[in-house]
Amino acid sequence: MNVKRLIKHFALPPWLLRRALTSSTMHAIEAAIAASETRHLGQIRFAVEESLAFDALWRGKTGRERALEVFANLRVWDTELNNGVLVYLLLADRDVEIVADRGIYRAVGEAAWEEICRSIEAALQAGQFETGVVKGVEAIGAQLAVHYPRHAAGANELPDVPVVL
């Protein structure tokens, strides 16, 4: 167990999440996802979590491990073309993880996903939460448009509304 990380998770001020997730920010993220999905057949979800529970911290759970759980819990994997993508933000760690379903993960490659994560994290460090997440969604959408271009209308298989865990 990392004591410094434990303190960071439990000392996180409650106003930080409210400041980052204003109503207009949530609407901007939802709109960015909806606009992105008009250009491709992929499905994007965004989830943010303020901090991890004590037991998860005690076990040393990483942001990546939690993102994989959230990917499963939100059923992002349950898309017709295996092209769901989760953007997960663990606010206490300022950690951004992208979990992409097997159909799109291989096509894009680890380096591109990591680059998008790092750009969102850089925006968070600069205090540009909304801009960073929206640009990240746009970058994911650009990748999806290359590999899953939209040729006709398709179903929106996953909700576009951001999830606060």
Give the chain's count of helices (H) and strands (E). Answer: 8, 4
Domains of the chain: total: 1
Low-confidence ranges of the chain (pLDDT < 70): 1, 6, 11-17
Does residue 161 fall inside a structural domain?
no
Strands 43-49 and 163-164: parallel
Give the pLDDT score at 13: 67
Does residue 111 fall inside a structural domain?
yes
Give the pLDDT score at 116: 96
Does residue 155 fall inside a structural domain?
no
- Cβ-based burial of 70 (10 A; exposed 0-12, middle 13-18, buried ≥19): buried
Q: How many CB atoms within 10 Å of residue 25? A: 17
pTM: 0.89
Give the pLDDT score at 17: 67
Which of 39, 46, 52, 66 shows the shortest CA–CA distance to 159? 46
Task: Show the domain range for 11.
Answer: 3-150
Interval 33-56: pLDDT, tens: 999 999 999 999 999 998 888 888
CATH number of the domain enclosing 32: 3.10.310.50
Give the pLDDT score at 73: 95
The Cα–Cα gap between 72 and 28 comes to 25
Does residue 162 fall inside a structural domain?
no
Give the pLDDT score at 91: 87
8 Å CB contact between 30 and 161: yes
Give the pLDDT score at 24: 92
